[in-house]
Amino acid sequence: MIRVAALLVLAAAGAGVLQLGASAETGPLRGSVTVTDQTWTCKGAVDLDSVTVTITPASAGKKADAIHLESGCTGRIGRIEVTTSIADGVKVSYGVHDLTIGGGRIRCLAKLPVLHQDAIQVMGGSNITMTGVILDCGRPDDTLINSNLFLNKAGNSTEPPTDVVCNSCVLGAAAAHTVSIQDSVRSGVADSTVCPAKFVKQTVAIGAAAVDPVNVRNRVGPCSGPLLTIVAAADSVTYGQSVVLSGWVDAPDPQPQVTVNAGGATIGTVSAPDGAWHLVVHPGVATTYVAEAGGATSPVASVQVRPRLLLQLRKGLLVGSALAGGSLAGRRVVLERQQGGDWAPVASYKLGPKSTVTIKPRLTPLPARVRLSIGATLGYLAAVSPSVRVPSA
């Protein structure tokens, strides 16, 4: 009923600011939001698949930003899709906290001549993570375009933006600054593509008031072709599980082709209708993926892999196996016994040629609950098996 009510509000809303949030009685707002020529404002808990806002030249009299994230906004937004011809894409205010945005794009086609414009302006808030978002508001022939990402304490904020990071994002060219990190704490960009600013020396502008600014593992320099992102739905999986790679490509072709590579080999090629693409992959070992389209290369998406450890009790013997993309023969596994809420090591064993081991348990007292564990190694995370109950004789 919550989603139905939200959709009815959207259908009936007129011009102005559309405020949607949640209450303690209803729980977080769910579903998807689509509005035109209105500012969408978040003031409560959300668990949204998408937020799509279009601000057209017809709304010039409102000077409307596309999205306002205000005090109390928290939770998850799967993706944002913003197209604006008037003002800012997203404004983030004091009191926004513990919010994730999982992808999308912000495009600024134009603006009112009297306004400064940012793709995202963060004035406050804490623990906000944006992943795989295209921010593209620069236009070489326009003026007063400040930044694609502007982090600076402002407005009614009593604390600076704190732990606000754009990971694996792509920030387009031709704004005055591509990234501007000013009065903020542990905030900025990581593992992202940062295209040149209109004033090249201001591509990544970090001010004296920035405390521990985040500017790590970024590719800063000329960008060719369309803007392209890639995001992994999970950063780790157990061997045999799949993971969805997805992203956006900002290309004039309505059906651009995206090729995903790993280790120099092509994993798959998919189309990206309206810019969005996804591909299901099955990594057998820790893998780094990169997407390509129209001469452009995305940032990278890395997925770690845990071996799948199995343990069975057969005719009084414990039989263990380790499944992975490559042989784990010779690796040691540890038999652990549950003691209260903890697990204590009993003995270690070497995996045989087929990555298996057979154990004659010597456990006292019985019954006992046991499991296998294996430590991290090159290409694999540490892992544990499901537990098995060893009954009394």
Instruction: Copy the structure tokens of residue 272.
Output: 């990206």
pTM, to two decimals: 0.86
Report the C-alpha gap between 49 and 30 in whole angstroms. Answer: 7
247 beta partners? 277
Higher pLDDT, 208 or 199: 208
Do residues 90 and 150 touch, judged by C-beta distance below 8 A? no
Yes or no: say if 153 and 95 are a contact pair by the CB < 8 Å rule: no
Give yes or no for a contact between 93 and 69, defined as CB atoms under 8 angstroms apart: yes
**Which helix (H) or strand (E) element contains residue 180?**
strand 177-181
Question: For the segment 31-45, what is each residue's pLDDT rounded down to a tens digit?
Answer: 999 999 999 999 999
- CA distances 59 to 192, 249, 392, Å, are 33, 27, 76
Mean pLDDT in the chain?
A: 92
CA distances in angstroms from 378 to 36, 159, 260, 375, listed in the order given? 50, 42, 23, 10
Give the pLDDT of residue 16: 52
For 1-21, write each residue's pLDDT tens digit.
Answer: 333 334 433 433 444 555 555
Describe the chain by its helix, strand, coil percentages, rounded to 5.
5, 55, 40
Measured CA to CA in angstroms, residue 136 lies from 87, 147, 149, 225, 273 at distances of 13, 9, 10, 13, 19
What confidence score (pLDDT) does residue 88 get?
97
Q: Could you tell me if 117 and 108 are in contact, meaning their C-beta atoms sit under 8 angstroms apart?
A: yes
Is residue 351 within 8 Å of residue 328, measured between CB atoms?
yes
